[in-house]
Structure formats: structure tokens, C-alpha cells
Amino acid sequence: MPLFIINDDITNLKVDAIVNAANNSLLGGGGVDGCIHRAAGPDLLKECITLRGCETGDAKITKGYKLPAKYVIHTVGPIWRGGRKGEEELLKSCYNRCLQIAVENKCGSVAFPMISAGVYGYPKYEAMQVAKNTINSFLEKLEDDLDVYIVLFGRDISGFFEPEDGLNDFLNSRIPDLFDSIKMCSIAGMVGEATNRLFKTSSKESRKICSERMSDLGDILKQPDESFSSMVMRKIKESGLNEVSCYKAANVNKQIFSKIRSCAGEDETETYQPTKSTAMSFAIALKLPLDESKELLRKAGYAFSRSDKTDIIVEYCITNRIYDIFRVNEILFTYEQPVLGSKCH
């Protein structure tokens, strides 16, 4: 399932397929098309000649030749003519055709540039809306796992997203905490040092106390608290969500969700250790309020840090009930933070 936004040159990506925003001739051009042909080498053009062009809104596949990607899916986006000439339908069709071709060719991962948003003049924000909505609807219906990347290129990424007005104030309000946590780190360093010294001088007596405590600990461990996996499964039941929509709303793949499900329940001996990103993704997907999000994270061994921008942004989103994972990821991306979700590879 997962859909990620990244900032890169698409020709560097080691995915099963990259998409080329080509023209009707399929014989190369400028922009991303030029980059792909240069990186793939002349054999790509030789194969493209055999394809005899492509209609706007359609797509055709070739090998990737010298590219790290196995395939190139060439699509032809519409030229923007003001928005009343069927541009949106044609752009949707580009994404759908490319995704269909990727699935038919058993791709596990596919990366898209912003089709039509360069030379063809499609407005950036609108192009992004079409990209994310079309890809998300396709993935919602898809049974298999497919990792999809939307690749933005270069420095100017702002026009693709709506600004999140309240966030700067929220980040600024956290800055004193950021300094506090730097102070705390140095204090923690000093305490750690002192504890080390104490342990070096521990006597026989203190070792005895230690072993008594260990047996208490054994008792506690026999009745551990509800696990992360069990809380996720419980919350799914309580919210009436179905499991598939839940892991899709968390932007994680089926494999990860299967692990969570198999580790839930009282008699399960195995535990599932999510990454912090996965834990936060489920807090968003389950639309948990802040206190329950903190509880879910704690069960996985994490806390929202006030000295980490990703954590502050996710906390902001939860506080403001922004539970659309793609919107959360857009905001994280705009602030140059890693996006949430987990992929198969």
C-alpha cells in the first residue's frame, strides 16, 4: 500500500519501475524525459522507437537499461490549457494506466515524477491533488502490496502543498522545550556517570537486594501491560474500522499489519516491536486523541519528544485532528522531515 513523497532525482531510484513524463512521440525531450534517456543510455530510445508513440493519458512500458530501475513506464500527460479541456481526466488516466501496467508487470515499487507539472504547465498544487487522490484510490482497491513514491525534484517544492498556517507558531512555542531538553541531556549524562561509579563499588549486600528485586521483576513480567499490538487491535474493534482500511490509513503494508495482528492477544508469546514511525502512523490511522496516542507510543517504548521536529509536527497534527496520513506526510515533507509509514522492501 504505502505512498511516500520524496525529494530526489528519479533516475537514482532503485525501484521496480520509474515513470517518465514523455510526449506523444516517446522519442525523448527535455525535463524528466531528458534525464531518464540520458541515464538509461541509447538502448532506451531504440526500444521507444518500436512503440510507435503513445496517446495522451495512456502509458507504455520499456526496460530500464542502465537505470537502477528495472522498467520505465512512459506516459503522456495533458498540456494545461486552462483546465476546461479535460486535463484533469487525462492526468488521472496517466496515473491509473501507469499503476495498472506496474501491477501487470509484477512491480513491488513504482516512482512517479509530477506528470505535466513542468513544461506542460499543469498548476503544481492541482497536479499534486490529482496525483495523491488517484494513487490513493488505486491503492485502496489493490490487494497486493505496492510501494508508490511521488518524486519531487530540486529545491522548489512549496507550490505543491497548502501551507499549514498554525504550525510555525506551534514549533516556536516548543523552542524553549528544545533548549530544556538539551540541558536535560547534559544533566542525564552527569547522572549516568555518577550511577556508573556507584555500581562499581556495589557490595555483597546490594547484590542480594538486587536478586530479590529480580524475582519481583519476574512476577511483574508474568502480567505485562497490554501490548502495542493488542492496543491497536482493540482500538480497531472499538472504532468499527475494518482492518484493511486501518493499515492503509496508516500507510503501512499488509506484511507489517499481519505481524501486528499475530502478536496481539493475551496468550501470544511473540511481541512485535514497531518503529516509532509505524507507532505514530497507527495513532493517526486510529484517530486517537493526544493522550491515547501517547499511551500507544509508550506501549511501543517511545514518547513524543519536544526536541525532535518530526515528533512536534505529529503532535501538532494529532492535537489539530489532522488524521489524513498523506496530509501529515505533506507537512512533514515540507519541513524536511522523514514521512510516516512503512514499506515492504
Interface positions with ligand AR6 (CB under 6 A): 9-11, 21-23, 29-33, 35, 77, 113-120, 151, 153-154
Nearest approach in angstroms of CB 149 to ligand AR6 is 10
User: Closest separation between CB of residue 217 and ligand AR6, Å?
Assistant: 53
How near is the Cβ of 30 to ligand AR6 at its closest, in Å? 4
Q: Which is nearer to ligand AR6, 120 or 302 (CB)?
A: 120
Q: Which is nearer to ligand AR6, 69 or 296 (CB)?
A: 69
* Min dist. Cβ of residue 120 to ligand AR6 (A): 4
Nearest residue to 111 (alpha-carbon basis) of 6, 249, 248, 27 = 6
Q: Which is nearer to ligand AR6, 153 or 247 (CB)?
A: 153
Beta carbon nearer to ligand AR6, 19 or 340: 19
Nearer to ligand AR6, 36 or 236 (CB): 36
* Residue 296: CB minimum distance to ligand AR6, A: 36
* Residue 293 cell numbers, joined: 496516542
Residue 237 exposure: Cα atoms within 13 Å on the Cβ side: 8
Closest distance between ligand AR6 and the C-beta of residue 160, in Å?
Answer: 8
Cα torsion 136, 138, 144, 147: sign: negative
Neighbour order of strands in the sheet with 3-7: 3-7, 147-152, 109-112, 17-22, 71-76, 59-63
Question: Residues of 196-211 as b/e, b for ≥16 C-beta within 10 angstroms?
Answer: eeeeeeeeeeeeeeee
Task: Report whether 255 contacts 311 (CB < 8 A).
Answer: no
Of 113 and 274, nearer to ligand AR6 (C-beta) is: 113
Which residue lies nearer to ligand AR6 by CB, 159 or 289? 159
Smallest distance from ligand AR6 to CB 51, Å: 14
Euclidean distance between CA atoms 304 and 297, whole angstroms: 8
